[in-house]
Structure 1
């Protein structure tokens, strides 16, 4: 259960950081490269975008890797959530809150 909680937390942080980067991408416009918070999100999301670059086909542009990373992280988050629910049901809700 501890492993599932930790994995879910890491994925949740990744989802929120990718959403924040996407929101600032829209709001900051062309000045996003000088925005300190956008650059912070880029650094935080670097592991996710690197994994997305490895998984994505070469035809996908580099600027879309953050969206691919968001899709991957969202799917992983849902998978971990389902695994957590299945675990809790299998042990009779002992230790699950």
Structure 2
């Protein structure tokens, strides 16, 4: 789920860049925004108010990325322990 949400945020960013300012009317962007909204809203709750709302998706991606890396490390550690 962590990897999926991170990939959705990357896809949302790419659609934003490729839509040349008309991202609000793009149905693919709207779908990705809907799917990532629980993650972004959760991160908004834990981040300080000093962080602008437009930066929260980037912060969400960074948190998901480091959670994904941590999960890989844990999985590798568990694999080493079973040998």
State the TM-score, normalized to the length of structure 2.
0.94
Query: Which 4+ stretches in 1 moved above 6 angstroms?
Result: none
2:30 equivalent in structure 1: 39
Write the distance in 1 (CA, Å) between the matches of 2:19 and 2:58: 17
Q: Which has the greater radius of gyration?
A: 1
Write the distance in 2 (CA, Å) between the matches of 1:69 and 1:40: 17
Which structure 2 residue ranges, 5 or more long, are not aligned?
none
Which structure 1 residue ranges, 5 or more long, are not aligned?
1-9, 93-97
Cα deviation, residue 15, structure 1: 1.0
Question: In terms of mean alpha carbon deviation, does 46-55 or 36-45 score higher?
Answer: 46-55
The RMSD of aligned alpha carbons is 0.8
Alignment of 1:86-97 (within 5 A): 86-92=77-83
State the TM-score, normalized to the length of structure 1.
0.82
1:28 to 2:16 alignment: no
* Number of residues of Structure 1 aligned to a counterpart in Structure 2: 83
2:43 to 46, 52, 63: 52
